[in-house]
Amino acid sequence: MNWAKLTQIDRRIIFITVGLAILIPLIFPIRMPVGTQRVTKHLFQAVEEIDPQEQVLLLSCDYAPQTEAENQPMTVAVLRHCFARRLPVLINALYVEGAPLLDLAMHQVMDEFNAHAKANADSILYGRDVVYLGWQPPPIVPILSMGRSIKGIYPVDYYLTPMDSLPLMTGVHNYDQVGLVLAITPLASPLWYVMYARTKFGVKVGAGCTAVCAPDFYPYCRSGQLLGMMAGMKGAAEYEELVENEYHPGGRRRATEGMASQSAAHLLMMFFVIIGNIAYFSTRRKS
């Protein structure tokens, strides 16, 4: 066998096979059973432990369209969890580029819940159950200033509605009323919350991050500074399944749908690495 040829596979062939491996499971969906990692379970539990009568969840996002595929399903899954528990949610964006994505996610989940609502009490209402605080630059300013006053740093919401006119904000003043800050990110914002908000104001912090960021956050999960984490699209899929199994909110689960595609891509990458190594050692032995 001519092993030398195997060390020189045209990259166009690699690109086409990777493209097919990703596309085929998306076109012909295969639902794969998703296990649950410890860190995802801990995050789910942390959200479960917030008392909806006393505290709110602050969903802080700083992702842009580039990582929408990984981060947006996390936001949607967390919103479904909170709305199913009737846990009030505050949302803020730390970067402007992703701010409209949060608006899309919030309205998508509100519409899902309101489609089944029979009365006002069953509905998810903006201002009563959820408030989108919007974007305030630079990130360190809202992170620190929310410890003193949320309304001070966000006098109006994303839609320019004065905060005082929103019923939810009458009882929410600062981090004392925030049960958990869940930072969803492709960067390091959960660590900023740990460094500035947790050490100074004692607020609890959780994370949802892209898979490449996850290794940075494991030390903080081990130390308890992060209560839990959704690591990459797999973490998002695990959270989607946990919420679905517990509350059955329904709706499309994009991360779970993407698992077959991700499995195929990982397998193919491993296959190429193995082929490359076999060919490398065979040609080296010969030479």
Partner 1 sequence: MRDKLPLGLLILMGVLGLTSRFIPHPVGEGMNAYLRDTLLRIISAFALILGLGNLLLRHTHKLEHKEPGWPHSIALIAGFVVTAVIGLLGGVSGEGPLPTAIGSFKFDITTIYNRVLIPLGATMFSLLAFYMASAAYRSFRAKSWLAALLLISAFVVMLGQVPLGGQISPIIPQISQWIMEVPNTAAKRGIELGITLGVLATTLKILAGIERSWLGSSK
Q: Which two tokens stand for residue 104?
A: 């899309």
Range 242-271, binding partner 1 (CB under 8 A): 259, 262-263, 265-270
Range 49-78, binding partner 1 (CB under 8 A): 64-69
Q: Which of 4, 5, 19, 176 binds partner 1 (CB under 8 A)?
A: 19
Per-residue mark of binding to partner 1, 85-104 (x: CB under 8 A):
---------------xx--x
Burial 229-262 (b: 16+ CB within 10 A, else e): bbbbbbbbbbbbbbbbeeeebebebbbbbbbbbb
Does 208 contact partner 1 by CB under 8 A?
Answer: no
Does 9 contact partner 1 by CB under 8 A?
Answer: yes
Q: Which of 5, 116, 128, 148 binds partner 1 (CB under 8 A)?
A: 148
Residue with Cβ nearer partner 1 (125 or 268): 268
Helix (H) or strand (E) holding 83: helix 68-85
Is residue 237 within 8 Å of residue 259, measured between CB atoms? yes
Apex 269 CA angle, 266 and 270, nearest 5: 85
Is residue 93 within 8 Å of residue 134, measured between CB atoms? yes
Beta bridge partners of 229: 207
Q: How far is the CB of 117 from partner 1 (least distance, A)?
A: 26
Write phi, then psi, for 184 (nearest 5 degrees).
-105, 125
Question: How many residues interact with partner 1 (rule CB under 8 A)?
Answer: 59
Q: How far is the CB of 53 from partner 1 (least distance, A)?
A: 30
Beta bridge partners of 56: 178
Q: Which positions touch partner 1 (CB under 8 A)?
A: 9, 11, 14-15, 18-19, 22, 32-35, 37-38, 64-69, 100-101, 104, 136-138, 140-141, 144-145, 148, 152-153, 211, 214-216, 218-219, 221-222, 231-232, 234, 237, 259, 262-263, 265-270, 272-273, 275-277, 280
